[in-house]
Amino acid sequence: MASFVAQTAPPSATVRFDKPTLFDVPISNNGGRCRFVIYKKNIERLVAVESPKVLGGLKSEAYLALNPQGLMPLLALPDGTSLPESQVIAAYLADKYRDEGASFDLPTPELRAADMLVQRIHDQYVAPIQGAMYKEMEIAQRAKAIERLAFQLDVLNRLVKGPFVAGDHLGLADAALFPTLAFCRFILPQYFGWEDLFVQRQQLGQYWAAIEADPAGAKVISEIEGGLQQWKDSGRWEERGIVEQVAQKEYRWSY
């Protein structure tokens, strides 16, 4: 258990943390972005990770008082500050714990811009449509989103310099991108008939290999894949009608 006390009312006045606490679950790709920074910096002793369930879940009064969006990840700080949004949390952790473990600093304005662009494309164009891989939705909407997802993966493939997003230096775009690729890699070949994600996207493939060879990267990948495997075992894609939709060949599903 994390070292904090949660009571019920009024939530904003009663939840206090004695160390920074990341609310998140292993399958979360947005959370994986923050967990990667924590693992690369070896700051597990300084930053706790807890499930939103300890506050009653994402839509509980106590959690909504900390993040009105009802989404994870969320970083709660001992001074009462709540930081939602994975980009903000990852950047805060990299900055706050600048002197611990790995650095996410990039040496030139051009590399920083390249890193920021990939974060922007991920957050603006990929994250909003990732649900097409695993959420319930109308068939035409799903097919359109899968087409857009393929397009955005192609865009990202051209932007990744290799081996990391901005070349030889690790940046925060690396933390953002691979957890979402873990979803794509697990789901698109199994449920949408794609061949290996990286056959047509070799820059992304090289990037994935570099992250997978990193112990912190491998740890986040295995957390996410473990969660996806649980979804698979529980029959998520059949239950939500996704398998049935993808069987309808008047739509294109693989790219």
Ligand X SMILES: N[C@@H](CCC(=O)N[C@@H](CS)C(=O)NCC(=O)O)C(=O)O
Does residue number 30 form part of the binding site for ligand X (CB under 6 A)?
Answer: yes
In the bound complex, what is the minimum distance in angstroms from residue 135's beta carbon to ligand X? 9
Select the residue interacting with ligand X from 37, 48, 71, 159 (CB under 6 A): 71
Does residue number 160 form part of the binding site for ligand X (CB under 6 A)?
Answer: no
The answer to whether 54 and 6 are in contact (CB under 8 A) is: yes
Nearest CA-CA partner of 149 in 123, 98, 184, 179:
184
Distance, CA of 67 to CA of 200 (rounded, Å): 39
Distance, CA of 12 to CA of 66 (rounded, Å): 7
In the numeric block, which tokens belong to residue 19?
């160390």
In the bound complex, what is the minimum distance in angstroms from residue 109's beta carbon to ligand X? 25
List beta partners, residue 83.
75
Does residue number 85 form part of the binding site for ligand X (CB under 6 A)?
Answer: yes
Please say which residue, 14 or 124, places its beta carbon nearer to ligand X. 124
The β-bridge relationship of strands 48-50 and 21-23 is: parallel
Q: Which stretch binds ligand X (CB under 6 A): 24-32, 75-83, 150-158, 195-203?
A: 24-32
Does residue number 29 form part of the binding site for ligand X (CB under 6 A)?
Answer: yes
Distance, CA of 251 to CA of 246 (rounded, Å): 8
In the bound complex, what is the minimum distance in angstroms from residue 247's beta carbon to ligand X? 27
In the bound complex, what is the minimum distance in angstroms from residue 180's beta carbon to ligand X? 9
Residue ranges binding ligand X (CB under 6 A): 28-31, 58, 71-73, 85-87
